[in-house]
Copies of this chain bind each other. A is one copy, B any other.
Amino acid sequence: MRYLFLLLFLFVTQVVSAADPLPSWNDGPAKDAILNFVKCATNDGCPLYVPPKDRIAVFDNDGTLWSEQPAYFQLLFALDRVKALADQHPEWKNEQPFKAILENDLKTAAASGKDGLLKIMAVTHSGMTTDEFEKTVRDWIRTARHPQKNVPYTQLVFEPMREVLNYLRENGFKTYIVSGGGVDFMRVWAEDVYGIPPEQVIGSSIKVKLAKRAGKPVLERLAEIDFIDDKEGKPVGIHRFIGRAPVMAFGNSDGDLQMLQWTDRKPNTFKALVHHTDAKREYAYDRNSHIGQLDKALDEGTEKGWTVIDMRKDWNRIYPTP
């Protein structure tokens, strides 16, 4: 009887200690690759051991940690802001691309190209203090809903990737976002949603200027680009903000290729691509998509043996339970 208890106890202990840190992942090469890399990185008897201070993992955001269709969510935020600000700008009724946005004619709005986009970004992302912008994003992320899925945007984060973030942090990794998106947009909600604090969010930025309002210092957001954290900007951003090379990198598009190559400079590093293959539960797109195009990076990743995560096959669920 005593033996039976002991055996039962050992069994329970083993089950508990072997609890799956990635329950939303199906068994397969992608899950194995992540688990094996981390097991070895944290075992100082292993040839791939990584000392704690070098455990830096970087993640693209749009399409890697949350969805990005039918348009980058930050652009959808900007369009919502144009509508919210329209009352204060009667002239927009006759001015493109604002007229088209207010008429929900996104095709015409898109036809205004890069110039139109810069106009939209200028009125929605600059001309206020950093405090005011933060409050606007905070209100939006709490109340806005995705146009197709009709849920809050924070419901469209990838639960399997949140498990990876947690699993890495539990194993002593510092997790960073390295995104082409706006850093001040992401920092507002990244801590709540991903557990990533503001100081570990790297992104594109506009210039800010110190000024005074009512005798107190403020930072004013200017309509001038400071830094584009995309493509060749990603290694630059990693160097500038982290100052050392990552040992793990996750992306989903050609915009991440340079970040993955930069991580690949070091031996024994982990590189992964999230491949959007699930038209039913999320979206399916790659080589010909106008958002999150995955073409060159897919070829190079396949050739070099980087981990390609097949969303349809590898993930048994996409989004968190509401």
Contacts and interface: CB of A to CB of B under 8 A. Distances in A.
Interface of A: 53, 56, 130, 174, 183-184, 187, 191, 197-199, 201, 205, 208-210, 216-217, 219, 232, 235-236, 239-244, 258, 261-262, 265
A308 to B, nearest CB: 21
A199 B174 contact: yes
Contact of A208 (B183, B201, B219, B236): B236
Contacts of A241: 199, 241
Given A210-B258, A217-B235, A243 B53 contact: no
A208 B243 contact: no
B244 A232 contact: no
A223 B35 CA distance: 43
Given A243-B199, A244-B199, A265-B216, A235 B258 contact: no
Closest 10 CB pairs of A and B: A198-B243, A210-B232, A187-B243, A199-B242, A198-B244, A210-B235, A217-B261, A217-B262, A219-B239, A208-B236
A243 B183 contact: yes
Contacts of A205: 240
Contacts of A130: 239
Contact of A236 (B53, B197, B219, B261): B219
Contacts of A236: 208-210, 219
A224 to B, nearest CB: 13
A261 B217 CA distance: 7
Q: How many copies of this kind of chain does the complex include?
A: 2
Given A53-B197, A199-B242, A219-B236, 18 more contacts: A53-B191, A130-B239, A183-B240, A183-B243, A187-B243, A198-B242, A198-B243, A199-B199, A199-B241, A201-B243, A208-B236, A208-B240, A209-B236, A210-B232, A217-B258, A217-B261, A219-B239, A241-B241
A187 B242 CA distance: 10
Nearest to A234: B210
Nearest to A218: B265
Given A217-B258, A258-B217, A208 B239 contact: yes
A243 B244 CA distance: 20
Nearest to A207: B236
A235 B201 CA distance: 18
A240 B130 CA distance: 11
Contacts of A191: 53
Contacts of A243: 183-184, 187, 198-199, 201
A269 to B, nearest CB: 13
A240 B219 CA distance: 11
A205 to B, nearest CB: 7
A191 B210 CA distance: 30
Contacts of A235: 210, 217, 219
A187 B239 CA distance: 11
A15 to B, nearest CB: 33
